[in-house]
Chain A
């Protein structure tokens, strides 16, 4: 039997279609071009967009890139950016969470009312607020994953209900002003070392060193294991690009008030969540559920738990974001997290490059996307544009991002990726 087929395994011949990258910079550009053509745009459009936005507003106002304005932008992105980070998690599942704005508002209301009106220790009040947010997320997750109600509707109900809860908690007295120099107040206003320039430089150098060390260690392990690794030249180039960005930001911040606490906390949380998503088994499970529920289930992944926990994470991050927003506006009130806060957060995630269709994205896209949105908002404020114009422009940017996402998905499909 089967004498006609050779049974000794032949060593794999080199397939002409193999994606081997040429050495050095030429190879890098080569691969970059291939990726762009096949629809793997990554964060390229958003970086280009950000540069254009900054250039236009600098040209129009003459002081958009001044140290105080840049510092303000880096402070303001923390609240909406954390909500956008939560959005990234649900988008990775290919789902949506419409309740996150209300959850942010309800969390701020609960923590503030406890701390200010009930006299609870402020740290405890913050913890209780975030725990409440996580519980609300668990509720969404339960109705979605166990009862099978579409996530859109569960979280739509949540959006209404938790906005009501927020009003109820705030009560007739209305606005709750933050405690003077309290935990919540400091989230936005504190600068590390009270503005000591050492901190910004330290943070910059630390992040560069960590990045370079991580890349080098990884390359060494891969080489030791006989796997293709990033060449040193490329690591040096990547580190160089990062170093320039980080050092320039540190320099600009130090021209003003130094390193803002909200920026540190936001970037820190983005980095941690990115690590969880890309480097842990749990993160892999989230991507798997987002990419193929049946495959995930057959691989023994507890799909219901992954879904529920993702809604808990997104609500928890939104709750934290709500506290930053309360800190930034000086109080918790009935309107916090309302208006276009949620839309901005969703837009940020998508603009940053996280797909609406599930399974593709990074929490870094929340940072990039919210930078774009905050830059537009701040810039339009500076040129004195009306709120109505701001809404329309933000809407147009969101549409552009979604179109890019859909087109890139289609290109990837036709290139056999996606």
Chain B
């Protein structure tokens, strides 16, 4: 990637009581780049995105936004910079319709009252440009499938015109078709010049859409790879921390058995 990163973490550390969740972590995200953040359970991925999103302020280190150090103390600070986060638990309002959810907390107004027409128009435009298909923008969220809710949650993140979108395991609960929909959507975000941080345990997803893979292991960086030039095994071994690990042993065993 060329040019300065939009978002950069330099030496970020975060401690919860006795747990050192993050130690001296580096991360860079450029415009139009999809960075996959991978690592085993408890590696600190969710903690890292929460520090970026302002849920947990960092203890040490610097967060740089477009080259300048910034302090992100509250979720509001992150939003104001242009960082939108879609959490693992989507948190949509089941009783509100798609338009209501997309604009929740930043409704468009006209003479002090809700401008439903303008909101619906913008919602349709947004969903169209993302090629999102849902039965109706006036249907309550509860009436949508898991994948549709996921794309609505992502679209919601885009209403504020962010520069960086963080997706925490967006495909974890989805079927094949719906996963493909979400991955398509991630690619469309990249085309629009947004930086995307994608957390996933699914290597196939990562290889399909990511440009760069950043590996976390026990709260530390354990390598950053260009997806195009890195093999599956290299990433796995970075995640597990050794070339000799459960995954390679299993593959070797299967290869043995096959003989």
Residues of A whose CB lies within 8 Å of any CB of B are 1-2, 4-5, 7, 9-13, 15, 17-19, 218, 221-222, 225-227, 275, 278-281, 284, 287-288, 290-292, 294-296, 298-301, 358-360, 412-413, 415-418
Q: A417 touching B143 by the CB < 8 A rule?
A: yes
The distance from the CB of B147 to the nearest CB of chain A, in whole angstroms, is 13
Q: A298 touching B75 by the CB < 8 A rule?
A: yes
The distance from the CB of A14 to the nearest CB of chain B, in whole angstroms, is 9
Interface string of B80-116 (1 = CB under 8 A from A): 0000000101011111100011001111010011100
B91 to chain A: which residues have CB within 8 Å?
Answer: 292, 294-295, 298
10 further A-B contacts with Cβ under 8 Å, apart from A2-B208, A4-B208, are A5-B187, A5-B208, A12-B133, A225-B118, A275-B113, A280-B113, A295-B93, A359-B95, A416-B144, A418-B142
Decide if B131 is an interface residue (CB 8 Å cutoff). yes
Decide if B248 is an interface residue (CB 8 Å cutoff). no
Assess A291 versus B95: contact at CB under 8 Å? Given A19-B139, A299-B104: yes
Give bound CA distance, A178 to B12, whole Å.
72
B139 to chain A: which residues have CB within 8 Å?
Answer: 19, 417
Decide if B183 is an interface residue (CB 8 Å cutoff). yes
B184 to chain A: which residues have CB within 8 Å?
Answer: 5
Q: Which residue of B lies closest to A21 (CB)?
A: B136
Q: B142 touching A284 by the CB < 8 A rule?
A: no
Decide if B40 is an interface residue (CB 8 Å cutoff). no
Give bound CA distance, A416 to B145, whole Å.
8
**Chain B contacts with A in 120-177, Cβ cutoff 8 A:** 120-121, 124, 127-133, 135-136, 139-140, 142-145
- The one of B94, B117, B135, B188 that contacts A18, using a Cβ cutoff of 8 Å: B135
Give bound CA distance, A133 to B184, whole Å.
55
Assess A19 versus B136: contact at CB under 8 Å? Given A296-B93, A417-B143: yes
10 tightest A-B contacts by CB? A299-B105, A359-B95, A291-B95, A291-B93, A295-B91, A299-B104, A417-B143, A292-B93, A300-B105, A9-B131
Give bound CA distance, A307 to B219, whole Å.
39
Q: Could you give 10 example pairs across A and B, Cβ below 8 Å? A: A2-B187, A9-B131, A227-B121, A280-B112, A284-B100, A288-B96, A295-B93, A298-B75, A415-B143, A416-B144
The distance from the CB of A222 to the nearest CB of chain B, in whole angstroms, is 6
Q: A7 touching B121 by the CB < 8 A rule?
A: no
The distance from the CB of B196 to the nearest CB of chain A, in whole angstroms, is 13
Give bound CA distance, A298 to B76, whole Å.
10
Decide if B255 is an interface residue (CB 8 Å cutoff). no
Q: A279 touching B120 by the CB < 8 A rule?
A: no
Q: Which of A4, A11, A290, A295 has the most CB of B within 10 A?
A: A295
A2 to chain B: which residues have CB within 8 Å?
Answer: 187, 208-209
- The one of A9, A19, A284, A418 that contacts B104, using a Cβ cutoff of 8 Å: A284
Decide if B24 is an interface residue (CB 8 Å cutoff). no
Assess A9 versus B188: contact at CB under 8 Å? Given A225-B118, A281-B107, A416-B142: yes
Q: Which residue of B lies closest to A281 (CB)?
A: B107
Give bound CA distance, A275 to B112, whole Å.
12
Give bound CA distance, A196 to B148, whole Å.
58
Q: A5 touching B104 by the CB < 8 A rule?
A: no
The distance from the CB of B188 to the nearest CB of chain A, in whole angstroms, is 6
Q: Count of chain B residues with Cβ under 8 Å from any Cβ of A?
A: 52
Give bound CA distance, A17 to B210, whole Å.
32
The distance from the CB of A213 to the nearest CB of chain B, in whole angstroms, is 15
Q: Which residue of A lies closest to B208 (CB)?
A: A2
Assess A288 versus B93: contact at CB under 8 Å? Given A1-B211, A1-B228, A17-B135: yes
Decide if B227 is an interface residue (CB 8 Å cutoff). yes
Q: A221 touching B117 by the CB < 8 A rule?
A: yes
Q: Which of A1, A218, A294 has the most CB of B within 10 A?
A: A1
Give bound CA distance, A300 to B143, whole Å.
24
Q: B93 touching A5 by the CB < 8 A rule?
A: no
Decide if B233 is an interface residue (CB 8 Å cutoff). no
Q: Which residue of A lies closest to B104 (CB)?
A: A299
A292 to chain B: which residues have CB within 8 Å?
Answer: 91-95
Assess A280 versus B143: contact at CB under 8 Å? Given A19-B135, A287-B95: no
Decide if B191 is an interface residue (CB 8 Å cutoff). yes
Q: B117 touching A222 by the CB < 8 A rule?
A: yes
The distance from the CB of B143 to the nearest CB of chain A, in whole angstroms, is 4
Assess A300 versus B227: contact at CB under 8 Å? Given A227-B124, A295-B91: no
Q: A301 touching B120 by the CB < 8 A rule?
A: no
Give bound CA distance, A218 to B209, whole Å.
43
- The one of B75, B117, B133, B211 that contacts A15, using a Cβ cutoff of 8 Å: B133
Q: A281 touching B95 by the CB < 8 A rule?
A: no
Q: B140 touching A417 by the CB < 8 A rule?
A: yes
Give bound CA distance, A415 to B143, whole Å.
7
The distance from the CB of A118 to the nearest CB of chain B, in whole angstroms, is 39
Give bound CA distance, A223 to B113, whole Å.
20
Q: Which residue of B lies closest to A223 (CB)?
A: B117
The distance from the CB of B179 to the nearest CB of chain A, in whole angstroms, is 12
Give bound CA distance, A17 to B145, whole Å.
12
Q: B114 touching A227 by the CB < 8 A rule?
A: no
Q: Which residue of A lies closest to B183 (CB)?
A: A5
A7 to chain B: which residues have CB within 8 Å?
Answer: 187-188, 191
Q: B136 touching A18 by the CB < 8 A rule?
A: yes
Give bound CA distance, A291 to B92, whole Å.
8
Give bound CA distance, A10 to B92, whole Å.
27
Q: A12 touching B143 by the CB < 8 A rule?
A: no
Q: Which residue of B lies closest to A296 (CB)?
A: B93
Give bound CA distance, A295 to B94, whole Å.
9
A284 to chain B: which residues have CB within 8 Å?
Answer: 96, 100, 104, 107, 114
- The one of A15, A288, A294, A358 that contacts B135, using a Cβ cutoff of 8 Å: A15
Q: B121 touching A225 by the CB < 8 A rule?
A: yes
